[in-house]
Structure 1
């Protein structure tokens, strides 16, 4: 702690640390910055003096000199899409935070109520240099954030994929969502299901478009027609799953299996099916994406595609850190794997 003299709190300076440690003030600064030019012995001595005096470096002031904030901006979907209701976002933030902490970066979360608010907030963050770089937690077809950041030449990474015309221009971390959706559909086909419903998320999201592509590829390869009535789209929330399954099951010939874009939506699907008198998986199979904790705790436990959400966050922060340190690095596309986790909501169809 800082010393007291006559009831007055004394705040120690870098010069006090240098004097007591027997080094130059510049050496103390290099120790604070963890410079490799300073020996481990000197670092230990200076840090011991800092602890003895209760000295804490003014990181904010040092960052102003270095023109850095040591803060990463994390751009969430608009509040209208209820991102914090969905366990995907806390888990991806956990991965981002784990990597950011390694380099002592803080996070600044966007708070836009509407999509128009988000772009204005991004502009303010860039122009005020409030953050050193940004991670976008979503990717949609008409979003203005990516074009703006490219125009400003500001470091950023996307979780998801950018538009096709920006491949090689934008760094991003993503799953192979086409392949994952195709695998999930093929799994149901192997269980002898031929009428398979598809519940997608928001229509303008690239992950939804990729899921649809994989689903259609699998059906086409199996020689099955794609019935547009079997494809419905809703926001990735519990209520979205409930509404979507009502639409699917109201058809004259409802599906015997359903692929759901997201585990939270799938919980809504399971509850609505139960209220309709359907038994899962005896009457209908349900499979999903993400493998968040709630999927294992669902009743019955949910068959789902694990997309390694934590790894998506960790890799995105790692990639952004490299871009901040070296803006001239070539753009990178990092793919994170996926695996099918079979539980109790899927089984082979029972033929009459």
Structure 2
């Protein structure tokens, strides 16, 4: 097995120069770097990155934390796609990833504490934002580098975060449905304690107020664990909704399936509009009108923000919204 001394002899440089090439030191010329790297490749020399990172007090690992069970999270295409974006930045910057696997909030908090106290990662990305989150508060108290995918309910000015403008997004969708003649619109969303749901409700209400309409409280449904039951409640209302805004495409697919069983046609009887633009949204029937929220970019920029925070712990917090785009397909129709 080749050593750093073997590489130095073959490249006709000192061992310290080889070390600087491995560390990509800016004072080493590109010519020398290329020469040393070619020799390393020829000799199949692999530097002890772990030892180098230990000396630099860095792990070159990023923690990725989901707000609930990883087993459930990976059933939603949002999470693999946002992690794909995180991975792209991590790979470019030579970082690995460590994912939370806990099934409960307590287990996930214990995992995060272990990541921080054992110095297993250099920073953490939270893939959610919610009220009174003990993990968010713990990371703040520890002054540990972290970024939120979502808009934190508190301490926004001091927190790095990346999100879509979910208020404007929901307002645009309801504006679109109202323009089609719908005034009885239901919102089937997620947990109201999560920022994404609360912001979309706000956008929903802003659109109604703008058009001089009143929201029927019965049209707000957040029991997403029992979609069929929730849908039956809506369809049994005396003045049932003519359109439904769903929290994501997966829920829209499920709602369309249940409506078909009830002999309720989409979009002739009920229009469906959704969010995420999942890969299958153009292939279900009817093809889904939805919003492209650029999930990959959310992950990519979150990891960029975190790497910048790790490199410069005292820099001003960064906040950004990733643009969205309404994709009009076949699941919405004019209200006669």
The TM-score with structure 2 as length reference comes to 0.97
Let me know the Cα RMSD of the aligned residues.
1.2
Cα distance in 2 between the residues matched to 1:335 and 1:253 = 37
2:94 pairs, out of 84, 92, 104, with 104
Cα distance in 2 between the residues matched to 1:241 and 1:301 = 20
Query: Is contact 2:71–2:103 with CA below 8 Å preserved after alignment?
Result: no
Structure 1 residues 246 and 81: alpha-carbon distance in aligned structure 2, compared to 1, 3 A threshold: farther
SS of the residue 1:252 aligns to: coil
2:202 alignment partner in structure 1 = 213
C-alpha deviation, 1:77, in angstroms: 2.3
2:78 pairs, out of 88, 101, 124, with 88
SS of the residue 1:270 aligns to: helix
Cα distance in 2 between the residues matched to 1:244 and 1:29 = 62
Question: 1:61-86 CA distances to partner (integer Å, 9 max, x unpaired)?
Answer: 11111111111000012218811110
C-alpha deviation, 1:240, in angstroms: 4.4
**Structure 1 runs (4+) greater than 6 angstroms displaced:** none
1:313 alignment partner in structure 2 = 299
Question: 1:264-300 CA distances to partner (integer Å, 9 max, x unpaired)?
Answer: 1111111001110011111110000111112122221
Unaligned 5+ runs, structure 1: 1-10
Unaligned 5+ runs, structure 2: none
1:6 alignment partner in structure 2 = none
Query: Is contact 2:147–2:306 with CA below 8 Å preserved after alignment?
Result: yes
Query: Is contact 1:241–1:267 with CA below 8 Å preserved after alignment?
Result: no
Question: 1:68-119 CA distances to partner (integer Å, 9 max, x unpaired)?
Answer: 1111000012218811110011111111111111101111000010011111
SS of the residue 2:275 aligns to: strand
Cα distance in 2 between the residues matched to 1:147 and 1:57 = 38
Cα distance in 1 between the residues matched to 2:89 and 2:28 = 25
Cα distance in 2 between the residues matched to 1:243 and 1:100 = 42
C-alpha deviation, 1:242, in angstroms: 3.1
Query: Is contact 1:31–1:38 with CA below 8 Å preserved after alignment?
Result: yes
2:236 alignment partner in structure 1 = 250
Cα distance in 2 between the residues matched to 1:160 and 1:241 = 24
1:184 pairs, out of 158, 173, 176, with 173
2:67 alignment partner in structure 1 = 77
Question: 1:136-161 CA distances to partner (integer Å, 9 max, x unpaired)?
Answer: 00111121111111111100000001
SS of the residue 1:265 aligns to: helix
Give the alignment of 1:161-176 within 5 angstroms: 161-163=151-153, 165-176=154-165
2:308 pairs, out of 312, 317, 322, with 322
1:38 to 2:28 alignment: yes
1:15 alignment partner in structure 2 = 5
1:339 alignment partner in structure 2 = 325
The TM-score with structure 1 as length reference comes to 0.93
Question: 1:25-48 CA distances to partner (integer Å, 9 max, x unpaired)?
Answer: 111011111122111111111112
Cα distance in 1 between the residues matched to 2:218 and 2:124 = 39
Cα distance in 2 between the residues matched to 1:82 and 1:247 = 25
